[in-house]
Amino acid sequence: MVRVQTEDFDPGGELEALIAGRTDVGASVSFVGHMRARNEDRDVETMTLEHYPGMAEKVLGELEAEAHRRWPLQASTIIHRVGPLKPGDRIVLVITASAHRQAAFEAAEFLMDWLKTKAPFWKKESGPTGDSWVSSRSADENAAQRWTASPKSK
């Protein structure tokens, strides 16, 4: 399940909803990304998340499908917020559920690594020194490269 929304989400509630009634799930992994008040030595008061409506949902759906092709997942959730956020706010949620923990851990990591480099979202930071668009990080690109061994990927 994939959602892009301005509202906050409830990680515990989403996990409950995902595995409600299932008895085949032996492991679930939840990842929550939060907004920090400091980024690269700058104070950040507001961060605005922009997305490409339509393409963002499409790409997240493709990433979720790819995770299910690569690992034996029983269920998954990806929620990404857009709009203005404050320090401490939740930004993104990834939940993966599987019979055993290894698949759930790996798939959650894969989803976050690819989401950062392949899904059309952009962050703009606003603080005492003005507004600026966040630059992409080579560390994120390197993390995403780790998962390119699959014949499905480019």
Site residues for other proteins per CB under 8 A: 33, 49-52, 54-55, 58, 80, 91-92, 112, 115-124, 133-136, 140
For residue 34, report the phi and psi dihedrals to the nearest 5 degrees.
-120, 160
In a 3-state reduction of DSSP, which class is residue 105? helix
CA angle 153, 135, 121 (to 5 degrees): 55
- Minimum separation from the CB atom of position 50 to other proteins (A): 6
- Minimum separation from the CB atom of position 124 to other proteins (A): 7
Q: What is the DSSP string of 30-44?
A: EEEEE--SEETTEE-
- Minimum separation from the CB atom of position 94 to other proteins (A): 9
Cα 143 to Cα 151: distance, rounded to the nearest angstrom: 18
Cα 97 to Cα 35: distance, rounded to the nearest angstrom: 25
Cα 96 to Cα 111: distance, rounded to the nearest angstrom: 9
List Cβ neighbours of 70 (8 Å cut-off, separation of 6 or more): 107, 110, 150, 152
- Minimum separation from the CB atom of position 26 to other proteins (A): 27
Q: Toward other proteins, which CB reaches closer, 17 or 55?
A: 55
- Minimum separation from the CB atom of position 136 to other proteins (A): 4
